[in-house]
Structure 1
Amino acid sequence: MNLNLIEKINNWAKETPEKIAFVWRDQKMTYSQLKESSDALAYWIAKEYPNDDSPILVHGHMQPEMIICFLAAVKAGHSYIPVDISIPEDRIHRMIESSGAKLMISQEALTINGLQIRSINPFELNEIFQTCKGHMPMPEQAVRGEDNFYIIYTSGSTGNPKGVQITLNCLESFVKWATNDFGLQSGQVFLNQAPFSFDLSVMDLYPSLVTGGTLWAIDKEMIAKPKELFASFEQSNIEVWTSTPSFAEMCLMAPGFSSEMLPSLNTFLFCGEVLPNNLARQLLERFPGAQIINSYGPTEATVAVTSVIIDKEMTGKYDSLPVGYCKSDCQILIMKEDGSLAADGEKGEIVIVGPSVSKGYLSAPELTEKAFMTINGERAYRTKDAGVLEDGMLFCHGRMDNQIKLHGYRMEIEEIEHHLRSSAYVNAAVVLPIKRNDAYDHLLAIVVPNEHQFEKEFQLTSAIKKELAAELPAYMIPRKFVYQSSIPMTANGKVDRKALLKEVTMTV
């Protein structure tokens, strides 16, 4: 039986019309307003673009209109492309060219010159809401089955962004699993931390809308001002927390970030990065009544495909935490370099098979052919992530292309970071391989230290290195250490390694 995602969201406007669907700063939107406005805009789109299914760019940040535009696009039979304000205009130009989009709806000032695309500004959008109020699109016009629901652009190795096509079937497979397996209830308050151009946002957006919940959005300016951020949290009554581990790690630096600040919080959902053992331990101490769910999945497989509850026993059992068991309608395979399947406990490339897997990259058949294939009649995606299956439990060992060779030794950066973060002296840490003359010369550790008794930095460095020496060979221990009060993050809430590298090469 299909989930019928659009119908479920529409139904909340009938059942609980005044229920708040979305909150951003002082702006609130009810389910009734969401349906009325998305219907009006969908009606306008279908009328202006008959017999057309080209994707629609939706540009902005955390405005309620972003969600209205997403739903309007799919109700009118178009996929949408979420474009955050942090994305440079040159990149947006390339997205427009590669997608063939004819319409862009923007919540912010944006100039698009030299491209055949119609741009709707906030004033024009409001006019459409007014003129088309009360009108509705025909239900049969909506996207269905294998039609694209959204397209998210990710980084491409060639420098050109790749448009990952996520169909309605893909999204419904994910939402059905998330709402069933994560213990979500109707009417909960979800944190919305990730910008909509990052697919981690899908983990809270659609499970919230389908269950009649409330999305509590925080923006990049709040994140830059912790006092403002925590004041927002105190008002929120957040029950389901969705973020990258890096964002939670940043919040934990404030002693007041605990169940006293967020008394209703009962579920942490993590995806997008490695969940450090130390971070999980701290969260379990600060939020004793909450469960932590660790998950894994690339954009190409619709947000996440594995999950596991991380409790105290789990943190004691594993140094590197597992990412969990595969959802029931998909399959995880571990593939060796020769294309054969790895045995239980043997390392290889993670391959995902099943209905969550994308149709491929938009207008990029060669890239699609390299990354996607068919296994037993189902779509499959080669992740380029290294992993191990142990009795069905997946352990992710980082990117296969994040393996470096330093002075003849092969090593995984994630392994070094894991041991560094486990040090009693370390709150957060990132390891950067530093090049000289096109070859890796040494490792640099960027560390946010815990409180310690040392007067000099070299004494702290010596203590950390001594701990690392008990776990790692000498060639894997970073040569240089830099101490900072925080680790910079990208707009998506991940560690900003490029910014760090640029910063340290100017100062070290």
Structure 2
Amino acid sequence: MKLTRLWTSFARQVDARPHATALVARGRHISYGELADLVTEASARLERLDTTGGEPIGVPATKTPRTIALVLACLRAGLPVVLPSATLPDATLQRLLARAGCRHVLRADDPGPARTGAAPAPATPARAGAAPAPRGPHDPNDIAFVLTTSGSTGLPKLVPLTAGAFERFADWAAERFDLGPGAATLNYAPLNFDLCFLDVWATLHHGGQVVLVDPDAATNGRHLLDAIDDNAVTVVQAVPMAHQLLADAADDAGRRLASVRHALFTGDHMPARCLARLPAVFPNGRFYNVYGCTETNDSFVHEVDRDALPADGVPLGTALPGVEAFVLDEDGAVVTGPGRGELVVATPFQSAGYLGTDPAAPSPFVDTPAALPPGAAARFYRTGDLVRRDGAGVLHLEGRNDFQVKVRGTRVNTAVVEQVLLDHEEVAEAVVLAVPDPVAGHLLHAVLRRVPGAGVGTLGLRQHCARHLPTAAIPSTLRLSETALPRTSTGKVDRQALDRILRSPRPEATAVRKEPAR
């Protein structure tokens, strides 16, 4: 792998502005010069390894300056870096690193001699041979980052991204959200999540300051409020839950975040009640709905008019420069006017395919579908997301292909049911699972966490659903959780864990209370 522009531009920042703050971590300000010293230490660890084969280096993604320094050291050495979640069980981590072809793993909390042989290397190194042959602009020998998917359906998938893909995205993000010197971005997401390409790597690429949110305080709204206020953060990118936490904390403290110029929400449905609170929290902010997948990076962005907030959902918005997107109906035909179907995209920032998977296995990475017009990109990604194109040609996200089930003969999308539940002002989190049933085909079971002090019960929630959903889509069982719902390593709701809770014979042991439909 050649030296990435991320490394060379970082080095330029160190030369030109060594005393400027690069990172803020647990209240400590680390300058570009100090971060460069950490990179030098990390590079010394790399030099003690046998890296002649060019295999990727595993770096568990603890959110610390030393982890960021390890990544920069790998990029400086021209070595791909695999960023698995630091919270993965050890056995899962070993399997994942073996699949990636890693012979070495470096941990930020182990500054001593590098650990070698952390995972057995497969016969074919992951650097070039394990991914499907690329189609389009990506060179498999130029892999810089390997991210992981959520693992909500099993072992996380490995998503390689080239230096060129990152650099194209970083340039777009820096121009759109003013990420250069003087900017300060809040890093809320885990470091193994694709959101970090904007709020960590693109920011360092262009000379801004990154404020790392302590993972142990990620659900503490006051901590988030202080991190933004104390560091004059200008860009906030986070899931809707974090914006809800900020809004609650700002109201409780009677504070506003005047430094924020750009507030981005992504990764989940933004409830209308939360969106309505953001203009007061960010009085000088512009608001954006950002859509993308780990495999493609961001694909769409929609700037929300703060003076005319939508009450019925935020659209996907406009495709980013160079992005091609089409909607395919159930028969694989292109939807050209109003209608519904699966979104397929090709972006200048996307992966060429997963690492370490069977090339013969079904893949969402596909050659140009036959239904697309001549001149379309050579390689597309089938997102699995269902969208609706309205009469004005605007796309709206409606759910996922794999969340569609039949309930008593009626097609139901569980993601739509979740959105309706989340739109209730007293619901903080909601997940709807479809459980096979010999009579109905499937029954819907909802697990919900109410906002603190909420009084709504299952009857009120069923009435709410009845006002917005057909009868078949009303969950047959509701369970109210007293604690936050379990999350995967990338912050998504862990549906497998919830399914185990639903099937548990002792729900009281999981802090989830079952209330049957009435």
Q: Which TM bucket (shorter chain)?
A: 0.7 to 0.9
Q: Could you say which residue in structure 2 is the equivalent of 1:129? A: none
Identity in percent? 25
- Which of residues 465, 468, 493 is equivalent to 2:465? 468
* 8 Å contact kept, 1:154–1:163: yes
2:398 equivalent to 1:397: yes
Q: Take 1:144 and 1:481, find their aligned partners in 2: how far apart are those partners?
A: 49
Change beyond 3 A, Cα 1:189–1:258: farther
What amino acid does structure 2 have at the position aligned with 1:167? T
Deviation at 1:72, TM superposition (A): 1.0
Q: Take 2:139 and 2:10, find their aligned partners in 1: how far apart are those partners?
A: 15
Q: Take 1:334 and 1:384, find their aligned partners in 2: how far apart are those partners?
A: 11
* 8 Å contact kept, 2:104–2:118: no
* 8 Å contact kept, 1:244–1:494: no
2:344 equivalent to 1:351: yes
Q: Take 2:46 and 2:469, find their aligned partners in 1: how far apart are those partners?
A: 59
* 8 Å contact kept, 1:3–1:176: no
Q: Find the residue that maps to 1:45 and give its secondary structure.
A: helix
Q: 1:14-33 residue pairs with structure 2 within 5 A?
A: 14-33=15-34
What amino acid does structure 2 have at the position aligned with 1:440? H
* 8 Å contact kept, 1:344–1:388: no
Q: Could you say which residue in structure 2 is the equivalent of 1:120? A: none
Q: 1:327-342 residue pairs with structure 2 within 5 A?
A: 327-342=320-335
Larger displacement relative to structure 2 (26-35 or 348-357) = 26-35
* 8 Å contact kept, 1:192–1:242: yes
Q: 1:374-413 residue pairs with structure 2 within 5 A?
A: 374-375=367-368, 376=376, 378-390=378-390, 391=392, 393-413=394-414
* 8 Å contact kept, 1:432–1:443: yes
What amino acid does structure 1 have at the position aligned with 2:240? P
Q: 1:479-490 residue pairs with structure 2 within 5 A?
A: 479-484=476-481, 487-488=484-485, 490=487
TM-score by length of 1: 0.83
Q: Could you say which residue in structure 1 is the equivalent of 2:259? A: 264
Q: Find the residue that maps to 1:273 and give its secondary structure.
A: coil
Larger displacement relative to structure 2 (65-74 or 82-91) = 82-91
Q: Take 2:236 and 2:174, find their aligned partners in 1: how far apart are those partners?
A: 14
What amino acid does structure 2 have at the position aligned with 1:62? K
Q: Could you say which residue in structure 2 is the equivalent of 1:59? A: 60
Larger displacement relative to structure 2 (370-379 or 224-233) = 224-233
Q: Could you say which residue in structure 2 is the equivalent of 1:240? A: 235
Q: Take 1:24 and 1:500, find their aligned partners in 2: how far apart are those partners?
A: 33
Change beyond 3 A, Cα 1:463–1:364: closer
Q: Take 1:388 and 1:70, find their aligned partners in 2: how far apart are those partners?
A: 40
- Which of residues 156, 160, 171 is equivalent to 1:161? 156
Q: Take 2:478 and 2:339, find their aligned partners in 1: how far apart are those partners?
A: 34
Deviation at 1:326, TM superposition (A): 0.7
The C-alpha deviation readout for 1:297-349, integer Å capped at 9, x for no partner, is 111112x1110112345533x51211211111111111233332112322111
- Which of residues 355, 359, 363 is equivalent to 2:356? 363
Larger displacement relative to structure 2 (44-53 or 440-449) = 44-53
Q: Take 2:382 and 2:286, find their aligned partners in 1: how far apart are those partners?
A: 31
What amino acid does structure 1 have at the position aligned with 2:397? C
The C-alpha deviation readout for 1:375-412, integer Å capped at 9, x for no partner, is 34533211111123455533222221011222222111
* 8 Å contact kept, 1:243–1:493: no
TM-score by length of 2: 0.82
Deviation at 1:223, TM superposition (A): 2.4
Q: Could you say which residue in structure 2 is the equivalent of 1:135? A: none
* 8 Å contact kept, 2:301–2:318: yes
* 8 Å contact kept, 1:350–1:384: yes
What amino acid does structure 2 have at the position aligned with 1:311? D
Q: Could you say which residue in structure 2 is the equivalent of 1:309? A: 303
What is the root-mean-square deviation in Å for CA atoms of aligned residues?
Answer: 3.3
Q: Could you say which residue in structure 2 is the equivalent of 1:8? A: 9
Q: 1:204-215 residue pairs with structure 2 within 5 A?
A: 204-215=199-210
Q: Take 2:381 and 2:412, find their aligned partners in 1: how far apart are those partners?
A: 25
* 8 Å contact kept, 1:270–1:295: yes
Deviation at 1:360, TM superposition (A): 0.7
Q: Take 1:367 and 1:76, find their aligned partners in 2: how far apart are those partners?
A: 33
Larger displacement relative to structure 2 (152-161 or 471-480) = 152-161
Q: Find the residue that maps to 1:366 and give its secondary structure.
A: coil
The C-alpha deviation readout for 1:30-85, integer Å capped at 9, x for no partner, is 11233344256447636744543210011241110111111111121111011332
Q: Find the residue that maps to 1:86 and give its secondary structure.
A: coil
Q: Could you say which residue in structure 2 is the equivalent of 1:440? A: 442
Change beyond 3 A, Cα 1:106–1:157: closer
Q: Take 2:40 and 2:380, find their aligned partners in 1: how far apart are those partners?
A: 35
Q: Take 2:290 and 2:302, find their aligned partners in 1: how far apart are those partners?
A: 7
Q: Find the residue that maps to 1:343 and give its secondary structure.
A: coil
Change beyond 3 A, Cα 1:166–1:204: same
Q: Take 1:446 and 1:50, find their aligned partners in 2: how far apart are those partners?
A: 48
Q: Take 1:335 and 1:35, find their aligned partners in 2: how far apart are those partners?
A: 48
2:365 equivalent to 1:372: yes
Q: Could you say which residue in structure 1 is the equivalent of 2:129? A: none
Q: Find the residue that maps to 1:370 and give its secondary structure.
A: coil
Q: 1:21-420 residue pairs with structure 2 within 5 A?
A: 21-39=22-40, 41-42=42-43, 45=46, 48-49=49-50, 51-108=52-109, 115-116=119-120, 147-155=142-150, 159-223=154-218, 225=220, 228-254=223-249, 256=251, 260=255, 262-302=257-297, 304-312=298-306, 315-316=309-310, 319-366=312-359, 370-375=363-368, 376=376, 378-390=378-390, 391=392, 393-420=394-421
Q: Take 2:204 and 2:28, find their aligned partners in 1: how far apart are those partners?
A: 17
Point out where structure 1 has 5 or more consecutive residues left out of the alignment.
118-142
Change beyond 3 A, Cα 1:379–1:283: same
Higher helix share: 1
* 8 Å contact kept, 1:167–1:358: yes
What amino acid does structure 1 have at the position aligned with 2:176? D
Point out where structure 2 has 5 or more consecutive residues left out of the alignment.
122-137, 369-375, 509-513
Q: Take 1:309 and 1:377, find their aligned partners in 2: how far apart are those partners?
A: 26
Q: Take 1:343 and 1:42, find their aligned partners in 2: how far apart are those partners?
A: 52
Q: Could you say which residue in structure 2 is the equivalent of 1:492? A: 490
Larger displacement relative to structure 2 (386-395 or 279-288) = 386-395
* 8 Å contact kept, 1:55–1:81: yes
Q: Find the residue that maps to 2:492 and give its secondary structure.
A: coil
